[in-house]
Amino acid sequence: MNSAGSSIMTDQTVEVITEYLKLEQRIGGYECMVQKAEDFEEFYTRTAQLINAQSVNEIAFTDGGSRGWNALINGIDLNKIDSFITLSSEYLTNISTLQICAEKYNKNLHVLPCSVNGDFDIRKLEKLAQSHKSCIAISQATAQGSITNPVESIGQIAKKTNSIYIVDATQSIGQIPLDVQAFQCDALTATGRKWLRGPRGTGFIYVKEGAPFSSNVIDGSSSKVLREDAHITVIKVGSARQFEMWERNYGLMLGLSNAIFEYMTLGPEMVHQRILEYAEQIRAIVDSNPRLQLVGKTNSKSGIIGIVAQSDDCLEQIKSAFQTHDITFNLVYEWACPLFFDGETKVIRLAAHHDVSSEHIDKVCRVLSEI
């Protein structure tokens, strides 16, 4: 029940990783890179298909969603913007990175407030984008509950106002089918360990060809150096791969590639439908209990469920009941979403993937109905 934190990998994904490590042990890391070159390239092909990118050159491997977010925010051509626009429902990493960048480069940070069900004033967002040279940076699905943001509508606003647009798909990739062409975003970041059922320490970013981003952290694989007399010129790779480093965990990269392959083979629509069926069962129980409050909406497209107990005693009762019945859960509070929660609110988070048994979902519903 913690796919919003870290899902359980399949046996095949684990086997792909361990077999690569065994090969590295047997013949050496550099020799392994040569032997597995086609498999590495397949990662980019699969990822591009996953999000409907136009080219494999728009994809870069990262070691997680937060790393990708930081790389993108710090890689923006800051001459093109004077402000950032985001939402109060954003995760700690997203808010922190935007605030630090705004302070460092003397840019404004506009944070639109969201209600407990995730509603915000999209007309105000549009007005801000119209009156500023902006970067709009927003998550598709939030970490704390059943909140999904209208990323396609925001994309239309970004295009109309000539804003730079970044989508965080960390909590949506692998559960909600994605299409960067429909989003009209300039860049996107995602992680492998959550709904994609990939290994920890993996993720990817999408950077649309021609979008105003440039990596500030480079090495020999992402750049080359030219010297003419005393003048030195650094030329970066002309694709998203300028955001990659030569040294990375290649075994985990292949593991993520396999996880993406399995997800696409199962079918994103089928996976999403099963996740929603489970989530809607649980949300109906929460919504009918006056002692509980749902974070987000009952008809959300996200399978993440946030439950606020109306008292500390009720919270402890839920935690105790879940532990007794072997139901995993996660606790989300101010540290995770500092502009969304006050210092007292704590949220029980549940996130069931498609491979959870229906019997287990029935048990979760039964326990919650007895609270």
Do 171 and 302 form a contact (C-beta atoms < 8 A)?
Answer: yes
DSSP class of residue 205? E
Please give the chain's pLDDT, 371 residues, in tens: 999 999 999 999 999 999 999 999 999 999 999 999 999 999 999 999 999 999 999 999 999 999 999 999 999 999 999 999 999 999 999 999 999 999 999 999 999 999 999 999 999 999 999 999 999 999 999 999 999 999 999 999 999 999 999 999 999 999 999 999 999 999 999 999 999 999 999 999 999 999 999 999 998 888 888 888 889 998 999 999 999 999 999 999 999 999 999 999 999 999 999 999 999 999 999 999 999 999 999 999 999 999 999 899 999 999 999 999 999 999 999 999 999 999 889 999 999 999 999 999 999 999 999 99
Tokens of 39: 């498999």
Q: How far apart are CA 189 and CA 179, in angstroms?
A: 13
Q: How far apart are CA 310 and CA 343, in angstroms?
A: 15
Question: Cα separations (Å) of 332 from 67, 115, 128, 238, 371?
Answer: 21, 17, 30, 40, 19
Contacts of residue 306, defined as CB under 8 A and 6 or more positions apart, other chains included, come to 144, 145, 146, 294, 295, 296, 332, 347, 348, 349
Q: How far apart are CA 9 and CA 49, in angstroms?
A: 21
Do 332 and 306 form a contact (C-beta atoms < 8 A)?
Answer: yes
DSSP notation for 82-93: SEEEEETT--HH
- Looking at residue 96, what is its pLDDT? 97
317-333: per-residue pLDDT in tens?
A: 999 999 999 999 999 99
SS3 322: helix
Q: How far apart are CA 351 and CA 335, in angstroms?
A: 19
Q: How far apart are CA 115 and CA 118, in angstroms?
A: 5
- Looking at residue 221, what is its pLDDT? 85
Q: Is 134 exposed, middle or buried (0-12, 13-18, 19+ CB in 10 A)?
A: buried
Q: How far apart are CA 179 and CA 135, in angstroms?
A: 20
Q: What is the third-level CATH fold of 268-369?
A: Aspartate Aminotransferase, domain 1 (3.90.1150)
258-284: per-residue pLDDT in tens?
A: 999 999 999 999 999 999 999 999 999
Q: Where in the chain is the domain with CATH 3.40.640.10?
A: 11-266
Q: How far apart are CA 189 and CA 152, in angstroms?
A: 16
Q: How far apart are CA 160 and CA 130, in angstroms?
A: 9
Question: Cα separations (Å) of 339 from 86, 94, 118, 133, 187?
Answer: 11, 11, 13, 24, 24
Q: Where in the chain is the domain with CATH 3.90.1150.10?
A: 268-369
One CATH from 3.40.640.10, 3.30.70.60, 3.40.710.10, 3.30.420.10 for 11-266? 3.40.640.10
